[in-house]
Amino acid sequence: MSTVSSSASSPSSPTLPLATRADSLVGSVIDSSTSMLAEYTHDIVKFGMGAPAPDMLPSSEFARIAKSVFSPESFTYGETQGEPILIDALLNYLQDTYQIPEEHFGKRERIVITSGGMQGLDLGFKLFVSPGDLVFCESPTYTNGSATAMSYEAEVVEVPVDHEGMQVDVLDEFVARAGRAPAVIYTIPTFQNPAGVTMSLARRQKLLDFAHRHNSVILEDNPYGTLRFSGDDIPSLSQLSPNDPLIFGVRTFSKFVAPGLRIGWVDVDPDVRGLVINAKQTMDTCTSMPTQHMVAQWLNEGCANNHVDHLRGAYLERKKSMEAGLERLFGDEIRSTDPDGGFFLWVTFEDESVNTEDLLPVALEEGVAYIPGPAFSPAGAFTNALRLCFASNAPDRIDEGLTRLRSAIDKYRPPHSRARH
């Protein structure tokens, strides 16, 4: 057991008998930013959290739906695997919209409704990571995912990402160096968080080959897949290798409906699903019932297609606004990724001495929030990078936010001078 000092005065318990894994509970810079921003009272343009804009959330539709669908059954315990009415509505939506053969998307016996995509990650790592196991993740990555792996005492290894996604060619070298294969490869192949890049088809096939050779599980985190606004579709890993027990698919309603619902799903081999259900019983019994009933009704009313079309149009416009603003205000001081969907631009300052963690308090003072690059690396790399969410603000607010960011960088580091740092 590890111990921490306690400020409490109980004479016989100077230290708490914490589990060994408590040392690995590193906390989330991303989530903490929600609490941190709540303490500021002046106007801040929020490019930080990966959340849809308030005007993109169907809250009035849900208020109407709540009044009609809430019944006592919406408030009692439900099945751990999720409400049948929601699972059916979801499968109908996926099949009608994407016109993909049934086996490529989940069938009912492959689906468990989860409390957000985050619980999908918790379930996957809880099932497949023993203490000391290797987990390969992307670098940069969504560190709430890698932190969950670490909460089960994984040893996380960062694999570089370029414009084609995870550099899967280096995986065998990483295995040779470690002397063992990863238990889990954690990837966000489509509109990656935070880099915005999409893994190429060739790399997806190489990754599948790697996983099969080493009997490693691929945890495919796909929160943004429905939000492509340009370019051609690339099949998900789940679609490329249907019915593959090594692919643990994690999906969510957070990005194309609303994150506050905390509803997602996992799409897994039926044998794995039984274990997922057992594991979820030890987590929260079942997912919130009133929200499951609301989303089922929203899908059954056919609200999703119009809504997603609207999101795609709006997010493309917002991405273009942000790219134009960055070009106008920062020119060749920065380079940025150019995503075909999702929420994020990943911006890197050419001047490697720019430290985006040091810049953040200046930016907040100026009235703009972002997430610093090191928040996306378990090792704290990417000190001169930052993540900007273009989805959360309309174009005029994006311009205002970028103007404030320009002002912040000028205050933080006057042009042609590094004297302040």
Q: Which of residues 295-334 bind its own copies (CB under 8 A)?
A: none
Site string for its own copies, 191-220 (x = CB under 8 A): ---------------------xx-xxx---
Which residues, numbered 346-385, are part of the site for its own copies (CB under 8 A)? Answer: none
Binding test (CB under 8 A) with its own copies, winner from 89, 90, 91, 119: 119
CB of 11 to its own copies, least distance (A): 8
φ, ψ of residue 227 in degrees (nearest 5): -110, 45
Residue 26 CA, chain-centre distance (Å), reads 17
Binding test (CB under 8 A) with its own copies, winner from 112, 113, 127, 334: 127
Q: What's the rounded Cα separation, in Å, for the pair 135 and 129? A: 8
Binding test (CB under 8 A) with its own copies, winner from 40, 131, 170, 327: 131
* Phi-psi category of residue 416: left, alpha or beta, with phi > 0 → left and psi -120 to 50 → alpha: left
Nearer to its own copies, 22 or 324 (CB): 22
Q: What's the rounded Cα separation, in Å, for the pair 190 and 176? A: 27
CB of 319 to its own copies, least distance (A): 20
Q: Specify the DSSP element, H or E, that contains 277.
A: helix 270-281
| Segment lying near its own copies (by CB under 8 A), choices 29-37, 94-102, 377-385, 408-416 | 29-37
| Segment lying near its own copies (by CB under 8 A), choices 102-110, 240-248, 303-311, 382-390 | 240-248
| Segment lying near its own copies (by CB under 8 A), choices 70-78, 91-99, 230-238, 370-378 | 70-78
Binding test (CB under 8 A) with its own copies, winner from 221, 269, 366, 399: 269
Nearer to its own copies, 35 or 417 (CB): 35
| Segment lying near its own copies (by CB under 8 A), choices 157-165, 194-202, 244-252, 296-304 | 244-252
Site string for its own copies, 271-290 (x = CB under 8 A): xx--x-xxx-xxxxxxxxxx
- From the CB of residue 153, how many other CB atoms can be counted at a distance below 10 Å? 16
Lookup: tokens for 169: 């060619």
CB of 365 to its own copies, least distance (A): 22
CA geometry: angle 146, 150, 154, nearest 5 deg? 105
CA distances for 31 relative to 4, 37, 231, angstroms: 23, 10, 31
Q: What's the rounded Cα separation, in Å, for the pair 236 and 211? A: 15
CB of 124 to its own copies, least distance (A): 10
Contact, 158 vs 378, CB < 8 A?
A: yes
Residue 137 is a binding residue for its own copies (CB under 8 A) = no
Binding test (CB under 8 A) with its own copies, winner from 26, 170, 201, 202: 26
89-93 long-range contacts, CB within 8 A, separation 24+: 89/295, 89/296, 89/299, 89/300, 90/265, 90/299, 92/299, 92/300, 93/299, 93/304
Nearer to its own copies, 154 or 326 (CB): 154
Binding test (CB under 8 A) with its own copies, winner from 47, 78, 340, 384: 78
Nearer to its own copies, 119 or 238 (CB): 119
Task: Establish whether the linkage from the previous residue to 194 is cis, with ω within 30° of 0.
Answer: yes
CB of 35 to its own copies, least distance (A): 5
Which residues, numbered 156-195, are part of the site for its own copies (CB under 8 A)? Answer: 183
Residue 72 is a binding residue for its own copies (CB under 8 A) = yes
Half-sphere exposure of 377 (CA within 13 A, CB side): 19
Q: What's the rounded Cα separation, in Å, for the pair 260 and 254? A: 7
For its own copies (CB under 8 A), the number of binding residues is 106
* Phi-psi category of residue 16: left, alpha or beta, with phi > 0 → left and psi -120 to 50 → alpha: beta
